[in-house]
Structure 1
Amino acid sequence: MNTRVQSLSKREQLNFLLTNRIPRRWLTFFMGWYSQIQSPLLTKFSIWLWSLFAEDLRLQDAKKQHFTSLGDCFTRELKDGLRPIAKHPERVISPCDAIIGEHGDIQGTQVFQAKGFPYDINELIPNLHMNHKYRNGKYITLRLKSSMYHRFHAPVDCSVSMVTYISGDTWNVNPVALKRIEKLFCKNERAVVELHSNHPTSCIALVPVAAILVASMKFNFLPQVLDLKYQGPNNIPCDAQFNKGDEMGYFQHGSTIILFATSNYQFCEGIEKGKLIKMGQPLLTGHLTSFP
């Protein structure tokens, strides 16, 4: 058993060194350029090479089977009907396919990225008014592996009036890095999207966090791509309406979405750390009160 633990520790250390102790920003720029090269042969080779490291890559679920670039494959759409939506109005669905990470009750404004690694909502979301809403509420970390479907969707019927973009680093967001880099999510590039519904006391916010090789978020309702080259305003006004399950945008690779909810929500049965959840499946449930 000790030999196995030592072996895992060495593998974790190697993983951390290979994915973090490198020029993260320049590698991310390179990957952004490389993934947009329009070449059938290069694309086929790149996908084949990618599949050697991502055994759970399921391209048979994609709406199309031929891709013009590696980036086209990363941001693939799925065949219709593969992600049924939990329609019950009190259900909050997962906005993406993901591995469930740390989740639970927010202790005041403190949450955890990994065991023993706390951070404060104020350090992640620079908005005191918004932070107050989620005090003692719920949070859940949803990690999108590179092999997964990279698009994210509205978890409830809602509208969006503002996206806050926060430039930052591009640390890997895998479990190895989360156990070694304190307040990693607060260091990385990210966006804050608060979802408005007709239930004013029941609030939800999404925080998509970019990572190495990604650092690029595209919201369907914004004209600009939010990435390391973006130099526009941090607070971007918009006027977008969504039904539950509507697509909101996509990452260029894999990354993480942290979902915050007010205290009247509870996690649905079966929500466990390390478990795979698919977009459209129930994530939270709450007693919702509408106001005229």
Structure 2
Amino acid sequence: MNNIDNKPTKKRGNKKAQLFTTSQYIVPQQLLSKVVGKVAASKNPLVTKAFVHTFAKVYGIKMNDYARPDLDDYDSFNDFFTRELADNARPIDQTPNGIVSPADGMVSQIGRINREQILQAKGREYDIGHLLASIEEGRYFQNGTFATVYLAPSNYHRVHMPFDGTLIKTRYLPGTLFSVNNTTADNVLDLFARNERMVCLFDTEFGTAAVVLVGAMIVAGIETVATGKMKRSTTTIQEQTHHIPLKKGDELGRFYLGSTAIVILPEAANTQWQVGLQHESVIKMGELMGTASVSSQKMAGANI
């Protein structure tokens, strides 16, 4: 696991952005998230109604796309925050060999991995081996491609499969809980490689691929279909092996409050991202992000 201390890195941008970033080093991140998590899990109807209605109003959440459009139909804030979509609210693009967005959100960064370096923000990169907590896997994905999707608090918060694949491994990595918005990404060194995260590895037509679910400030937990909701640990990496076939568009996991999903593809996939898809592009789950070139037989060495 990446050993990065919690000293503030050199801040960029205006004073407001610098103050916001610096404050995140001061607040007790884990304690704050724990307290918020308990409130969000409460099934007290007065607490639930107050939080759900206030949150929906503040963030302008429209309920037309959801299976339960009435705000009073949720028995806790967590139930509301991880609300399910109505049938056919997010059609899954069926382009052959297409890679679709795993979530509703905004593209933070997208492109090619420079050897083993992923772009976090303009002028700031981080090591993929640190993100995955595996030097071997970092080397495997060198010169591959990636797409980072930021989920704002107002977004739908379930994460879905961007491709067909068999889930073969999950690795839960405890860490810090910085915000993952653009301001923090621009100012905190190795942000995604130091925050709490869940690495999911898949066997696919084009080799091993990954989706990383990154936790953030006030996020009360990360859940996957293979592991359930993870119990937080300050020191222990939890790794499990699986054999779970999943189709493009199937649910993979969910966040309890806003966060980030990173799709990582090997060089062998020869991924071509959609023209015009760039920093701050708004995207919905199931929309086409790009295509992978798949030969009739996997390239030698296309798996870890």
TM, length-normalised to structure 1: 0.89
1:49 pairs with 2:54: yes
Contact 1:215/1:227 (8 A) holds in 2: no
Match of 1:127 among 111, 134, 154: 134
1:103-182 correspondence to structure 2 within 5 Å: 103-182=110-189
What is the match of residue 3 of structure 2? none
Question: What is the one-letter code of the residue matched to 1:106?
Answer: I
**Equivalent residue for 1:61?**
65
RMSD, aligned α-carbons: 2.1
Read off the aligned partner of 2:101 and give its amino acid letter: S
> Does 2:33 correspond to 1:28?
yes
Matched, 1:276 2:262: no
**CA contact under 8 A between 2:169 and 2:242: conserved in structure 1?**
yes
SS of equivalent residue, structure 1 residue 186: coil
Instruction: State the 1:12 CA deviation.
Output: 2.9
The Cα shift of 1:291 comes to 2.4
The one-letter amino acid of 2:67's match is K
The one-letter amino acid of 2:200's match is V
Partner-residue secondary structure (3-state), 1:68: coil
Q: Of 249, 256, 272, which residue of structure 2 is paired with 1:252?
A: 256
CA contact (8 A) 1:189 1:215 kept: no
| Partner in structure 2 of residue 4 of structure 1 | none
Deviations 1:185-240 (A, max 9, x none): 1111111111212333xx42111100111151111122x42242488762112221
Listed one character per residue, the Cα deviations across residues 13-48 of structure 1 (whole Å, up to 9, x for unaligned) are 454456553111111000110001112222221123
Q: What SS is found at the alignment partner of 2:296?
A: coil
Partner of 1:12: 17
Q: Which residues of structure 2 form unaligned runs of 5+?
A: 1-12, 299-304
1:170–1:210 Cα contact (<8 Å) kept: yes
Per the alignment, residue 5 of structure 1 pairs with: none
Query: How far did residue 50 of structure 1 move?
Result: 1.8
Question: Are the structure 2 counterparts of residues 160 and 16 from structure 1 closer, same or farther at C-alpha, using a change threshold of 3 Å?
Answer: same
* Stretch deviating more after TM superposition (231-240 or 34-43): 231-240
SS of structure 2 residue aligned to 1:155: coil
User: Where does 1:186-265 land on structure 2 (aligned, <5 Å)?
Assistant: 186-200=193-207, 203-222=208-227, 224-229=228-233, 234-263=238-267, 264-265=270-271
2 CA distance for matches of 1:69 and 1:234?
28
Identity of aligned residues (%): 30
Task: Report the more deviating stretch, 16-25 or 111-120.
Answer: 16-25
Structure-2 change in CA distance of 1:262 and 1:199 (3 Å):
closer
Question: Would you say how many aligned residue pairs link Structure 1 and Structure 2?
Answer: 281
Q: How far is the alpha carbon of 1:144 from its aligned partner? A: 0.5
What is the rounded CA distance, in whole Å, between the counterparts of 2:25 and 2:104 in structure 1?
Answer: 24
CA distance in 1, matches of 2:161, 2:291: 15
Q: Point out where structure 1 has 5 or more consecutive residues left out of the alignment.
A: 1-7
- 2:189 partner letter: E
Letter in 2 for 1:193: C
Q: What is the deviation of 1:119?
A: 0.9
Residue deviations 1:151-188 (CA, integer Å, cap 9, x gap)? 01111111011101111111111111111111111111
Supply the distance in 1 between the matched residues of 2:119 and 2:293 (Cα, whole angstroms): 26
